[in-house]
């Protein structure tokens, strides 16, 4: 297997696209841009590369993970035209190289597979990964690394935006946990309903998932909003916002550059 580093990961999500550059020892640069289908993508990407002191011709491997199918070919074209690195796209054809069991590989999100891979290789036991992204997802693996199933709910911001769109008189509010479950004003009322409501959602679903599993589990939280609800910290054995990226890096190592 040839060396794969420097490695560029593109994690195309429903809201943002994350770029991360790994030099073989550590993540040295990370940045995000909105996941939009417009003509400024390439320009923004190369501006950020230059800002971080990087050039496309330095790369040996590029790995694209996407849950937005219409953006995948666009980014493949941009990168293929501007870098000579080996370019891989995460999907079912890659999964056979991974040391985890993946049911319904055509249906499961690539981000969830990355989370499962990173968690299982770190703990080598049954795991539940709670990902606080555009969607709030719970992915369960058994002690052999087989994905048992997934639960999906709207993410915190998704739920909040949906409420604002449907209720014209409700303002947008910061994602901050209020001191009381009974709001004394509209802002605190919304924070109580959404943030404390999600506290109950996460605890309740974790309890039900654990009850269906036969082995002790490690619970890992990830995603940009994984640290917002501080009262949930005791539910998690670890919080790692880079878990998805680390799983994608491990996929790149598994597939190699040949």
User: Closest Cα partner for 117 from 215, 254, 250, 252?
Assistant: 250
From start to end of 15-85, where are the E strands?
Answer: 16-22, 27-34, 61-66
142 is catalytic: no
| In contact, 145 and 100? CB cutoff 8 Å | yes
Q: Judging by DSSP bridges, how do beta strands 147-154 and 135-141 pair with one another?
A: antiparallel
* Token output for 153: 């709910």
Query: In which order are the strands placed within the sheet that holds 127-132?
Result: 147-154, 135-141, 127-132, 218-222, 238-239
Q: Which of 16, 23, 57, 111 is catalytic?
A: 111
CB neighbour class for 8 (10 Å; exposed up to 12, middle 13-18, buried from 19): buried
- Rounded to whole angstroms, the Cα distance separating 147 from 139 reads 7
How far are the Cα atoms of 15, 68, 216 from residue 71, in angstroms, in the given order?
12, 6, 39
Query: In which order are the strands placed within the sheet that holds 27-34?
Result: 27-34, 16-22, 7-12, 61-66, 86-89
Active site residues: 111
């Amino acid at each position: 297997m040839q060396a794969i580093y420097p490695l560029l990961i593109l994690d195309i999500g429903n809201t943002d696209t994350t770029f991360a550059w790994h030099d073989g020892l550590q993540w040295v640069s990370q940045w995000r841009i909105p996941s939009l289908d417009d003509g400024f993508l390439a320009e923004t990407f190369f501006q950020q590369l230059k800002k971080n002191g990087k050039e496309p011709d330095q790369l040996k491997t590029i790995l694209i993970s996407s849950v937005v199918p219409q953006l995948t070919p666009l980014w493949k074209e941009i990168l293929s035209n501007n870098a000579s690195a080996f370019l891989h796209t995460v999907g079912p054809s890659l999964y056979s190289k991974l040391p985890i069991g993946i049911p319904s590989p055509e249906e499961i999100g690539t981000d969830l597979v990355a989370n499962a891979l990173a968690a299982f290789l770190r703990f080598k036991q049954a795991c539940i990964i709670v990902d606080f992204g555009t969607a709030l997802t719970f992915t369960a693996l058994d002690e052999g690394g087989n994905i048992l199933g997934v639960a999906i709910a709207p993410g915190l911001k998704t739920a909040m935006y949906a409420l604002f769109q449907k209720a014209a008189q409700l303002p947008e509010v910061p994602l901050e946990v209020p001191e009381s479950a009974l709001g004394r004003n509209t802002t605190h009322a919304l924070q109580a309903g959404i943030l404390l409501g999600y506290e109950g959602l996460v605890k309740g679903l974790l309890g039900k998932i654990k009850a269906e599993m036969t082995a002790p589990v490690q619970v890992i939280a990830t995603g940009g909003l994984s640290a917002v609800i501080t009262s949930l910290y005791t539910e998690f054995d670890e919080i790692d916002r880079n878990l998805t990226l680390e799983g994608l890096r491990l996929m790149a190592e598994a597939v190699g550059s040949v």
